[in-house]
């Protein structure tokens, strides 16, 4: 018997939907219901559909930041609305509105083609524009929050669309109000503020060296993007070739006392002081120091190319991948007294 498919205005609702093609770890799982929306305006009617009332909800982009350890018992909402709209320009600052379903990497490349500055360090990150604010994506010294004007979202608590200014989104390191309250928000569009000219962020490890190798002496945003693209391609496995969700663990923050102890015992451990007095540590260094880089149990593994990347070599289940991640987390905790936190959402 085929799963039910119900067509609503601007939305296709699918019962018992397979998820293995909807997550970049390629985990086999199913969702009780999945709604693919071409128009966010269909959200109020969808969420009022009798069969769906009271079910747990998951807003899903390209599935590049989730690990399904089993089937999802509720409703998954995927917004597929794209489009880029120029909404203003003042003193060399350009304001743009982008649909949640737009590819993040395609959007970054569009900004580069327009000669805009701000997102070049974030090229080649998989996922959608609507997912970017949820974990405040970041790479090579830049977080997306610095370029966001506001986030448009459906607020399930107030039953209306809202436009949250960046200051109201509670952005933090891989964090936001959307991540803290995932049942409340469904992001429909993001507004950005980008510059026609601006300072480039070149200080993250490897960027200046890559630019030198490219023989670029006066870099522009397109050169920085090319340098980052080369670095990412060398260091990170391609999700199109092997299932993965990018960096699986966040760089941990510890207090100054523990950082000092670790510095004395492990002089090679990279440490970065933070504005609040805490010290950020390199999660990749910690994992590699435990010998877990390249570890494999069945089809679940840690990439040989990058110690933070959990990979699916073929048919690993979500539960098997999570079990391996826990083993790595526990090994780091036992040796260093530092508890790593997963960057992707582990579901259900």
pLDDT at residue 1 is higher than 60 = no
Q: For residues 3 and 18, which has the higher predicted lDDT (pLDDT)? A: 18
172-185 mean pLDDT = 95
pLDDT at residue 348 is higher than 90 = no
CA 223 remoteness from chain centre: 23
CA distance 70 to 253: 30
What is the value of pTM for the model shown?
A: 0.92
pLDDT at residue 2 is higher than 80 = no
Residue whose C-alpha is closest to residue 243's, from 8, 31, 29, 73: 29
Report pLDDT digits (tens) over 71-125.
Answer: 999 999 999 999 999 999 999 999 999 999 999 999 999 999 999 999 999 999 9
CA distance 122 to 124: 7
Instruction: List, in order of start, the domains of the chain with CATH numbers.
Output: 7-79 (3.30.43.10), 84-195 (3.30.465.10), 243-347 (3.90.78.10)
CA distance 281 to 315: 33
Helix or strand run (H / E) with residue 335: helix 318-336
Measure Cα distances from 41 to 45, 92, 229, 271 in Å.
8, 33, 36, 46
Within a 13 Å sphere around the CA of 237, how many CA atoms are in the beta-carbon half? 26
238-253 mean pLDDT = 94
> What three-state secondary structure class fits 147?
helix
Residue 79's pLDDT is 96
* Entry field: residues in the chain: 348
> What three-state secondary structure class fits 13?
strand
pLDDT at residue 150 is higher than 70 = yes
Mean pLDDT of the chain: 96
Instruction: Tokens for 13, please give them.
Output: 């609702």
Report pLDDT digits (tens) over 303-316.
Answer: 999 999 999 999 99
Report pLDDT digits (tens) over 32-57.
Answer: 999 999 999 999 999 999 999 989 99
**158: phi then psi, degrees, rounded to nearest 5:** -100, -5
Residue 197's pLDDT is 93
pLDDT at residue 3 is higher than 80 = no
* Helix, strand and coil in the chain, % to nearest 5: 30, 30, 40
**Which residues carry out catalysis?**
174, 247, 343
Residue 9's pLDDT is 86
Contacts of 222 (CB under 8 A, 6+ apart): 112, 120
Residue whose C-alpha is closest to residue 280's, from 146, 138, 145, 122: 138
Q: List the Cα angle 29/35/36 in 5-degree steps.
A: 105
Residue for token pair 């023989």: 215
């Amino acid at each position: 018997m085929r799963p039910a498919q119900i067509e609503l205005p601007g939305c296709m609702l699918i019962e018992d939907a397979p998820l293995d093609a909807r997550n970049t770890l390629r985990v086999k799982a199913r969702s009780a219901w999945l709604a693919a929306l071409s128009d966010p305006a269909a959200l109020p009617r969808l969420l009022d559909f009798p069969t769906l009332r009271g079910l747990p909800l998951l807003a899903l982009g390209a599935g590049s930041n989730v690990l399904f350890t089993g089937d999802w018992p509720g409703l998954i909402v995927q917004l597929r609305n794209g489009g880029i709209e120029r909404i203003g320009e003042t003193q060399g600052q350009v304001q743009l509105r982008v649909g949640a379903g737009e590819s993040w990497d395609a959007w970054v490349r569009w900004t580069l083609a327009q000669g805009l500055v701000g997102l070049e360090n974030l090229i080649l990150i998989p996922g959608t524009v609507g997912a970017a604010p949820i974990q405040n994506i970041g790479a090579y010294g830049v977080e997306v929050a610095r370029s966001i004007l506001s986030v448009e979202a459906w607020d399930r608590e107030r039953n209306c669309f809202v436009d949250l200014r960046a200051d109201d989104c509670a952005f933090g390191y891989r964090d936001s109000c959307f991540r803290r309250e995932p049942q409340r928000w469904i992001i429909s569009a993001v507004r950005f503020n980008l510059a026609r000219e601006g300072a480039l962020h070149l200080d993250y490890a490897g960027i200046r060296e890559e630019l030198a190798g490219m023989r670029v002496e006066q870099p522009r945003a397109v050169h920085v993007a090319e340098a980052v693209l080369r670095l990412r391609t060398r260091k990170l496995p391609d999700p199109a070739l092997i299932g993965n969700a990018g960096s699986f663990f966040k760089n941990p923050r510890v207090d100054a006392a523990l950082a000092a102890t670790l510095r004395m015992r492990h002089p090679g451990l990279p440490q970065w002081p933070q504005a609040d007095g805490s010290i950020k540590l390199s999660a990749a260094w910690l994992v590699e120091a435990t010998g877990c880089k390249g570890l494999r149990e069945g089809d679940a593994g840690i990439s040989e190319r990058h110690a933070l990347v959990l990979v699916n070599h073929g048919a690993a289940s979500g539960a098997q991948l999570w079990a391996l991640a826990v083993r790595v987390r526990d090994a780091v905790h036992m040796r260093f007294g530092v508890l790593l936190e997963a960057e992707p959402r582990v579901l259900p």
